[in-house]
Chains A and B, each alone.
Chain A
């Protein structure tokens, strides 16, 4: 089955700097790659997603890139702010069940 690996497990950046989180997936048939943000004690929430027919997608300060050949995708956050501090999860899915397989998460700390 699908396996998603996520790195790093923790990331600390200075406010205003950029943050990059990387994920690799094992199943070349995977075609949907979302990113979720989870604040402490809250539910995960979708922040951006990309499908396999697109190489890059941006939404204000966040962007996701996908390299299908290498089977990896990345989340980029520019001009980080303290409110970006949270745990971020990548995920992958394929086929008609739409079930997501998640990475193990990255705890991002943005230092003021």
Chain B
């Protein structure tokens, strides 16, 4: 659906364990983004990528790292999960240089619970 998939859809993990979330796109879009969504905070940018191996921090990057070794995959890693990282994580893609359209397409989200 919409050429972007996130995995897993749901995950429960224990405090202190590393967790990796995957975003996969088939649209060949240059830009990819990771957001977290929490009640009262809207969507907050964690990290983003503007090309293979090109990434940068967003508003709430502490405790997270990312990697993009291929155009189609953008991985988000929680290095040592904490309860404050319990959230819904959304990946998004865009490519204004390709389509002239600045809008994002979002994935379906990953609901992560840290216990």
Write the residues of chain A forming the contact surface with B, with a CB cutoff of 8 angstroms.
Answer: 1, 6, 9, 32, 34, 36, 42-46, 49, 51, 89, 91, 93, 96-105
Write the residues of chain B forming the contact surface with A, with a CB cutoff of 8 angstroms.
Answer: 31, 33, 35, 40-45, 48, 50, 56, 58-59, 90, 94, 96, 102-109
Query: Is the pair A98, B45 in contact by a Cβ cutoff of 8 Å?
Result: no
Query: Is the pair B59, A1 in contact by a Cβ cutoff of 8 Å?
Result: yes
- Expressed in whole angstroms, the minimum distance between the Cβ of A102 and any Cβ of chain B is 4
Chain B residues positioned under 8 Å from A6 (CB to CB):
42
Known: A43-B90, A97-B56. A102 touches B106 (CB 8 A): no
Query: Is the pair B59, A43 in contact by a Cβ cutoff of 8 Å?
Result: no
Query: Is the pair A43, B107 in contact by a Cβ cutoff of 8 Å?
Result: yes
For B33, B50, B102, which residue has the most chain A Cβ atoms within 10 angstroms?
B102
Give the CA-CA distance A43 to B67 in the complex, in Å: 23
Chain B residues positioned under 8 Å from A103 (CB to CB):
42
Chain B residues positioned under 8 Å from A51 (CB to CB):
102
